[in-house]
Amino acid sequence: MGGIRLMIKILNTQSRDFDTLFEQILLRGKQDIEGVTHKASQILQEVANHKQSAILEQVRLFDEWNPKTINDLFITPQECQKAYQALDKDQAKALHIAYERIYSFHQKQKQQTWLDIEDNGSILGQRWSPIERVGLYIPGGKAAYPSSLLMNAIPAIVAGSQSIVVCTPTPKNQTNHLLLAALHICGIKEIYKVGGASAIGLMAYGIENIKKVDFISGPGNIFVATAKKIVFGEVGIDMIAGPSEIAIIADDKANVEYLAYDLLSQAEHDEMASSFLFTTSCEKAKQVAQTIDKILPTLPKERIASQSINNRGAIIVCDTLDEAIHLSNQLAPEHLEILTERPFEVMPKIKHAGAIFLGENTPEPIGDYLAGPNHTLPTGGSARFFSPLGVENFMKRSSIISFSKQAIQSLGKDCSLLAHLENLDAHKQAVLARLDTKQ
């Protein structure tokens, strides 16, 4: 390496300290929630107790502008329409393509009500219905993300939610015209210039003329994630998402430039983002590390990407492709790219990943914007038990049960016995009262 220190560290599975170092990587999902829980709780309590006045004061404090009344926080549909009309042709086309592809994909997810009639005449089933009022949190601090709006709003639209509320921070009262245009495309009418834990409180508790929501989704910083965790139970939430991350499994034939750019595509999101490459080639590892160092100074977000790559990135040299797959499964990454000669042969071996990108022509950003599947994904290893945001998040199930006379007669005795065994006599008698031969 010529004594030159590379920004991204290279680890080898054969190194004596590899297990210890990799264990630290696996712990990346342990956010410092304890450090912000007290502050987030205070903000939420203020909103719960003082409603409008608390929200206005928090906007003045955190977003550095001075709304006088709650009406000052409202973004009108007319503002959104004006922003949409001001788009140039290419911008409008890109947003519509993204909307249509995301909508088409999510439409295939919609669950249907079903009924099953048994021979004894009983009817069992499941009824799916939309969550009526949902709240979407869309980041707007370091950057504004119209793509996040599309990815969170479209599943709710497909699900049939009647009322969609959007909260987004507007530092110094500056709105993003692309986000406003995306709001117009989605047909969302209720939008508030509120961010952070304050926005979660507004949506979870409601204030004055703003009704509370039933479910909150959307990404955000540590305060947003912590606030969502605190209000869970008062409302439903999608997941507790941390900083963005990518892992790549690559063989010795993978394109070095592709690998470097794909790792950096997540690093430029946030200083806390994570980027990992599993490769079977020592030479490839060095080439990718050197290419990253060449690319970094050319990026507008060089400072953010450099911190991320230096502190939260790693290239891991593995003995075999199977070892790389095993380590990736332990990592359970948010985004997983497979850049090997036969990626579809690797895919069945992947147990845990939020989204899987197959082949060298499928960079992770294609999934961020317009491939179709949702880009709101589990992070920090939670892909072991969480799934991507989808239409089902904005729907709920009700069980359907209808017993016929024949069904209660044939199954009632067994049911009453189970109730008796649990010492629940009223349960038992409620069933026996309906039987022809009472016991």
Same domain, 66 and 144: yes
Same domain, 234 and 246: no
Pairing of strands 236-237, 215-217: parallel
Query: Any known ligand binding at 375?
Result: no
For 397, the enclosing helix (H) or strand (E) is strand 395-402
Angle of the 321-331 helix axis to the 18-26 helix axis, nearest 10: 40
Q: Is residue 407 part of a domain?
A: yes
Q: Is residue 263 part of a domain?
A: yes
Query: Any known ligand binding at 335?
Result: yes
Pairing of strands 190-192, 163-167: parallel
Same domain, 285 and 334: yes
Q: What is the pLDDT of residue 242?
A: 85
Give the domain CATH number at 228. Answer: 3.40.50.1980
**94: nearest Cα among 104, 84, 80:** 84
What CA–CA distance (Å, rounded) separates 241 from 214?
19
Q: Is residue 2 part of a domain?
A: no
CA angle 425, 429, 431 (to 5 degrees): 125
Residue 64 DSSP one-character state: -
- In order, the DSSP letters of 249-278 are EE-TTS-HHHHHHHHHHHHTT-TT-EEEEE
Strand ranges across the sheet with 355-358: 9-12, 313-317, 274-279, 245-250, 335-339, 355-358
For 124, the enclosing helix (H) or strand (E) is strand 123-130
What CA–CA distance (Å, rounded) separates 424 from 241?
43
Number of domains within the chain: 3
Q: Is residue 438 part of a domain?
A: no
Question: What tens digit of pLDDT does each residue of 61-101 get?
Answer: 999 999 999 999 999 999 999 999 999 999 999 999 999 99
Query: Any known ligand binding at 244?
Result: yes
Same domain, 220 and 338: no
Q: Is residue 4 part of a domain?
A: no
pTM: 0.93
Same domain, 329 and 418: no
Query: Any known ligand binding at 283?
Result: no
Question: What tens digit of pLDDT does each residue of 4-39 get?
Answer: 678 999 999 999 999 999 999 998 877 667 778 999
Q: What is the pLDDT of residue 345?
A: 97
Same domain, 95 and 193: yes
What CA–CA distance (Å, rounded) separates 287 from 310?
16
Using CB atoms within 10 Å of the CB of residue 413, give its burial: 0 to 12 exposed, 13 to 18 middle, 19+ buried: middle
State the residue range of the domain holding 77. Answer: 33-239+391-395
Same domain, 409 and 309: no
Q: Is residue 1 part of a domain?
A: no
Same domain, 197 and 319: no
In the three-class reduction of DSSP (H, G, I as helix; E, B as strand; rest coil), residue 17 is classed as coil
**331: nearest Cα among 248, 269, 239:** 248
Same domain, 74 and 214: yes
- In order, the DSSP letters of 323-375 are HHHHHHHHH--SEEEEESSSHHHHGGG----SEEEESTT--HHHHHHTSSS--
Query: Any known ligand binding at 96?
Result: no
What CA–CA distance (Å, rounded) separates 344 from 328?
16
**330: nearest Cα among 26, 29, 27, 12:** 26
Same domain, 74 and 168: yes
Same domain, 419 and 361: no
What CA–CA distance (Å, rounded) separates 24 from 311?
12
Q: Which residues contact 385 (CB under 8 A, 6 or more apart)?
A: 378
What CA–CA distance (Å, rounded) separates 339 from 86?
40
Query: Any known ligand binding at 50?
Result: no
In the three-class reduction of DSSP (H, G, I as helix; E, B as strand; rest coil), residue 137 is classed as strand
Residue 66 DSSP one-character state: -
**276: nearest Cα among 299, 304, 244, 254:** 244
Same domain, 234 and 307: no
Question: Catalytic site residues?
Answer: 334-335
Taking 70 as the pLDDT cut, the residues of the chain under it are: 1-4, 31-32, 141-143, 438-439
Query: Any known ligand binding at 42?
Result: no
What CA–CA distance (Å, rounded) separates 227 from 206?
15
Q: Are 190 and 164 in contact (CB under 8 A)?
A: yes
Q: What are phi and psi of 31, to 5 degrees?
A: -70, 160
What CA–CA distance (Å, rounded) separates 352 from 62?
37
